[in-house]
């Protein structure tokens, strides 16, 4: 399932042309942190954002709802995600910002982070620290979910064949361990995002609809 930089670039630009530009989408398409000729869009993050907006817009249209009002997501959370009660009182708050939240950072049903390492040449402490941070996020999310009786899905997107399969397979095993023990609810690997992520979003949409009806 893992992509290399060439495959990820091709998938991103295909989605950008066929969905984003053709339909006038508005989600963020951030750039990577590379310099020189390597500077370009953050391909995997862009893929996730385009697919999210496409899935939510399609759902809204099919159900007579308005995207951005009735159906929405935060594609670039600038605040910490937090939980409030019916009176608006703060019940719990995360320690780190994430790369996306549905439907938003207040009472999210899902929060996710995207890790793409297409230009990595060595498996260093930065990547290892990222895995450890995700595990700590899982502990925190599980604690807050239990204390507030809110089911918050923690989703982890990772990509780059060389990074995870050739250089960091032991840490890839740690990620699978995190999935098995419940520190993340879903791990989406590379091009798996094309089929799996829309299905997860539809599950979230259904859960949100039940929650709204319950109120």
Write down the pLDDT at residue 210. Answer: 59
pLDDT number for residue 124:
84
189 pLDDT higher than 90: yes
The strand ranges marked E within 52-202 are 82-84, 90-93, 100-102, 110-116, 153-159, 186-189
**Is the predicted pLDDT of residue 200 greater than 70, yes or no?**
yes
- 185 pLDDT more than 60: yes
Q: Is the pLDDT of residue 213 over 80?
A: no
- pLDDT value of residue 11: 98
Q: Say whether 26 sits in a helix, a strand or coil.
A: coil
Region of poorest pLDDT, from 2-11, 74-83, 123-132: 123-132
pLDDT digits (tens, 9 = 90+) for 28-78: 999 998 989 889 999 999 999 999 999 999 999 999 999 999 999 999 999
Mean pLDDT to the nearest integer, 78-91: 94
State how many domains the chain has.
1
Q: Which residues lie below 8 Å from residue 91, measured CB to CB, with a gap of 6+?
A: 82, 83, 84, 85, 144, 147, 148
Distance CA(47)–CA(45), nearest Å, equals: 5
Has residue 167 got a pLDDT over 90? yes
Write down the pTM of the prediction. Answer: 0.94
Average pLDDT, the chain: 94
At residue 126, the pLDDT reads 85
Residue 211: what pLDDT?
56
Is residue 153 within 8 Å of residue 197, measured between CB atoms?
no
Q: Cα separation of 74 and 49, whole Å?
A: 9
> Domain range spanning residue 172?
5-214
Question: From CA 58, how far away is CA 68, in angstroms rounded?
Answer: 12
**CB-based contacts of 54-61 (< 8 A; 24+ apart in sequence):** 54/19, 54/23, 54/25, 54/198, 55/197, 55/198, 55/201, 55/202, 56/201, 56/205, 57/23, 57/25, 59/201, 59/202, 59/205
Q: What is the mean pLDDT of residues 172-188?
A: 95
- Residues 125-145 have a mean pLDDT of 93
Is the N-terminal amide bond of 103 cis, ω within 30° of 0?
yes
């Amino acid at each position: 399932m893992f992509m290399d930089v060439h495959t990820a670039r091709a998938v991103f630009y295909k989605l950008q042309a066929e969905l984003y530009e053709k339909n006038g989408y508005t989600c963020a398409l951030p750039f990577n942190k590379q310099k020189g000729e390597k500077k370009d869009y953050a391909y995997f993050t862009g893929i996730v954002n385009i697919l999210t907006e496409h899935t939510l817009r399609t759902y809204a249209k099919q159900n007579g709802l308005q995207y951005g009002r009735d159906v929405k997501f935060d594609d670039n959370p600038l605040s910490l995600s937090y939980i409030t009660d019916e009176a608006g009182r703060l019940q719990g708050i995360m320690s780190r910002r994430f790369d996306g939240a549905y439907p938003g950072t207040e009472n999210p049903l899902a929060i996710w982070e995207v890790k793409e390492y297409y230009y990595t040449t060595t498996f260093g402490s930065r990547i290892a620290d990222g895995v450890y941070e995700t595990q700590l996020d899982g502990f925190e999310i599980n604690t807050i979910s239990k204390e507030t009786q809110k089911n918050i899905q923690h989703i982890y997107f990772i990509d780059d064949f060389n990074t995870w399969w050739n250089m960091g397979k032991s840490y890839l095993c740690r990620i699978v361990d995190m999935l098995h023990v419940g520190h993340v609810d879903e791990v989406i690997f590379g091009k798996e995002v094309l089929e799996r992520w829309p299905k997860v979003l539809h599950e979230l949409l259904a859960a949100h609809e039940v929650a709204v009806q319950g109120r």
